[in-house]
């Protein structure tokens, strides 16, 4: 296609493309625009494009058919950018928006961690999932490489197989730990067996039931990471094995001056189990006079989706950390964002694509876009104008019409006008305004002006 443009001498003709989407994903009211940094890197390394020019909009997009990016330059060059730019924006924006929806659902208190690597589209898909979930409002990733490459805080716990790989306490080669500060190493195993007895008496559970292999796994982990002890407690039975074993090991750590972090639940009724865990932590805290024990973290994972999170949030629970994998990175409610990249102008002339589907007809002409705000700082609407029109001004009435409803005229007077497009790439170079990118990350919650 580009070859044929070159053959007919049209490859250098000036052209303008817009990258936009037609519907917000997940039936929602907003989209986080993400992936711009990768687009700019790609355009920069795509050396032909020394004259390409990129305008891009801010990270939160509320309105449809307002360009996320406007790309102008020689026709052949900007046309070749179609597929790479769509690839780099579509999934990034989709997963960032999905992550933001999870964040809005749980509120600011609960910590969210991303666990999607195993279900992503290959290793790179996994990295994108981690990066854009973080941009959308997640706190942690379990993907170590994403942590290393993007500086995202990393969190994880042990695997079930780590626990089932142990069968008895005798498999522990090392059984001692030095207390915090000075002092000789103490028989950790012996101490924890005594704590297990006390915990089981408190909980009125049999001391026989807690699995010795599971306890060996917990002890092995605690000896290695005494200040970072998190235990996966559902391998055999949360109530009868995992939780008593965890409490025994965590109380042993406390005796030596260390504080455990908490437990992870990965199956069953997460809400009920969180309530039970909290009540056990409180009982231990009170009985054994260990105040911090009441506030141990409870982490939950296991096929968490928007739907079951909504249910969870309607009821009492004690979960502090929520891990989301599949339903975050694969976005099952809508696994693709339909961004398109359409020609709006060639050689200064507006271009349109009609279509057999009305909804696929494009808005012709190069455009500017503005967000109009009310006096109290709320966005009123996003205004599209032709590039040749004058910009709307604060305090002056603007006549406009709703997209797709030409007959409905609106008069709006904005207290504040924000131009939505800024220059990010010009004359072969990424422009200074891209420094906003860093600030834009996690900026979704900042809102308005």
Residues 112-151 that bind a copy of itself (CB under 8 A): 117-129
**Within 275-304, which residues bind a copy of itself (CB under 8 A)?**
302
Determine the size of the site formed for a copy of itself (CB under 8 A): 88
**Within 344-373, which residues bind a copy of itself (CB under 8 A)?**
346, 349, 351-357, 360
Of 412 and 437, nearer to a copy of itself (C-beta) is 437
Contacting residue, 26, 48, 82, 426, with a copy of itself by CB under 8 A: 82
**Within 257-276, which residues bind a copy of itself (CB under 8 A)?**
267-269, 273
Contact by Cβ (8 Å): 112, 140: yes
Under the criterion CB under 8 A, does residue 53 sit at the interface with a copy of itself? no
Q: How far is the CB of 79 from a copy of itself (least distance, A)?
A: 6
Task: Give Cα 20 distance to the centre of its chain.
Answer: 21
Contacting residue, 59, 90, 93, 192, with a copy of itself by CB under 8 A: 90
Of 76 and 381, nearer to a copy of itself (C-beta) is 76
Q: How far is the CB of 310 from a copy of itself (least distance, A)?
A: 20
Of 61 and 79, nearer to a copy of itself (C-beta) is 79
Of 273 and 368, nearer to a copy of itself (C-beta) is 273
Under the criterion CB under 8 A, does residue 34 sit at the interface with a copy of itself? no
Of 160 and 198, nearer to a copy of itself (C-beta) is 160
Of 46 and 225, nearer to a copy of itself (C-beta) is 225
Q: How far is the CB of 220 from a copy of itself (least distance, A)?
A: 5
Q: How far is the CB of 125 from a copy of itself (least distance, A)?
A: 3
Q: 3-state secondary structure string, the chain?
A: CHHHHHHCCCCCCEEEEEEECCCCHHHCCCEECCCHHHHHHHHHHCHHHCCCEEEECCCEECCCCCCCEEEEEEHHHHHHCHHHHHHHHHHHHHHHHHHHHHHHHHCCCCEEEECCHHHCCHHHHHHHHHHHHHHHCCCEECCHHHHHHHCCCECCCCCHHHHHCCCCHHHCCCCEECCCCCCCCEEHHHHHHHHHHHHHHHHCCCCCCCCHHHHHHHHHHHHHCCCCCEEECCCCCHHHHHHHHHHHHHHHHHHCCCCCCEEEECCCCHHHHHHHHHHHHHHHHHHCCCHHHHHCEEEECCCCCHHHHHHHHHCCCCCCEEEECHHHHCCCCCCCCCCEEEEEEECCEECCCCCCCHHHCCCCCCEEEEEEECCCCCEEEEEEEECCCCCCCCCCEEEEEECCEEEEEEEEECCEEEECCEEEEECCEECHHHHHHHHHCCHHHCCCC
Under the criterion CB under 8 A, does residue 41 sit at the interface with a copy of itself? no
Task: List the x/- string, 301-340, binding to a copy of itself by CB under 8 A.
Answer: -x-----------------------x--xxxx-xxxxxx-
Of 8 and 407, nearer to a copy of itself (C-beta) is 8
CA distances in angstroms from 169 to 166, 212, 215, 251, 442, listed in the order given: 8, 6, 7, 18, 45
Contacting residue, 39, 112, 238, 309, with a copy of itself by CB under 8 A: 238
Q: How far is the CB of 273 from a copy of itself (least distance, A)?
A: 7
Of 336 and 433, nearer to a copy of itself (C-beta) is 336
Under the criterion CB under 8 A, does residue 3 sit at the interface with a copy of itself? yes
**Within 173-232, which residues bind a copy of itself (CB under 8 A)?**
173-174, 220-221, 223-225
Under the criterion CB under 8 A, does residue 13 sit at the interface with a copy of itself? yes
Under the criterion CB under 8 A, does residue 442 sit at the interface with a copy of itself? no
Say how far apart CA 20 and CA 342 lie, in whole Å: 8
Under the criterion CB under 8 A, does residue 91 sit at the interface with a copy of itself? yes
Of 333 and 412, nearer to a copy of itself (C-beta) is 333
């Amino acid at each position: 296609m580009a070859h044929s443009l070159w053959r007919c001498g049209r490859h250098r003709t000036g052209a303008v493309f817009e990258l936009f989407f037609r519907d917000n994903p997940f039936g929602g009211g907003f989209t986080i625009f993400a992936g711009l940094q990768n687009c700019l890197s790609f355009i920069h390394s795509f050396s032909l494009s020394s004259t390409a020019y990129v305008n891009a909009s801010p990270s939160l997009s509320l309105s449809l058919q307002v360009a996320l990016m406007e790309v102008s330059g020689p026709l052949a060059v900007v046309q070749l950018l179609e597929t790479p730019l769509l690839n780099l924006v579509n999934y990034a924006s989709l997963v960032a928006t999905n992550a933001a929806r999870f964040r809005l659902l749980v509120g600011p208190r609960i910590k969210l961690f991303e666990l999607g690597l195993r279900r992503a589209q290959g290793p790179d898909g996994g990295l994108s999932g981690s990066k854009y979930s973080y941009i959308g409002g997640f706190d942690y990733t379990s993907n170590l490489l994403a942590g290393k490459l993007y500086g995202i805080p990393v969190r994880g716990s042990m695997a079930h197989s780590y626990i089932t790989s142990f069968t008895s306490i005798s498999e522990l080669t090392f059984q001692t730990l030095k207390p915090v500060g000075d002092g000789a190493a103490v028989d950790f195993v012996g101490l924890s067996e005594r704590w297990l007895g006390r915990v089981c008496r408190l909980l009125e559970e049999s001391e026989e039931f807690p699995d010795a292999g599971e306890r060996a796994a917990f002890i092995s982990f605690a000896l290695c990471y005494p200040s970072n002890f998190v235990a996966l407690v559902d391998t055999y039975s949360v109530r009868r094995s995992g939780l008593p074993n965890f409490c025994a090991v965590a109380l042993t750590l406390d005796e030596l001056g260390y504080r455990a972090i908490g437990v992870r639940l990965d199956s069953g009724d997460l809400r009920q189990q969180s309530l039970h865990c909290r009540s056990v932590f409180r009982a231990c805290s009170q009985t054994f006079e260990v105040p911090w024990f009441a506030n141990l973290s409870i982490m939950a994972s296991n096929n968490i989706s928007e739907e079951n999170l909504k249910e969870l949030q309607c009821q009492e629970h004690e979960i502090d950390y929520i891990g989301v994998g599949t339903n975050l990175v694969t976005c099952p409610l809508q696994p693709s964002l339909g961004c398109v990249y359409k020609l709006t102008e060639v050689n200064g002339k507006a271009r349109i694509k009609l279509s057999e589907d009305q909804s696929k007809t494009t808005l012709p002409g190069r455009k500017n876009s503005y967000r109009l705000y009310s006096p109290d700082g709320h966005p009123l609407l996003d205004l599209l104008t032709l590039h040749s029109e004058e910009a709307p001004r604060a305090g002056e009435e603007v006549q406009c019409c709703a997209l797709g409803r030409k007959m409905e005229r609106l008069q709006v007077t904005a207290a504040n006008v924000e131009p939505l497009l800024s220059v990010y790439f010009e004359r072969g170079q990424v422009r200074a305004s891209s420094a906003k990118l860093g600030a834009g990350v996690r900026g979704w919650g900042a809102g308005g002006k």
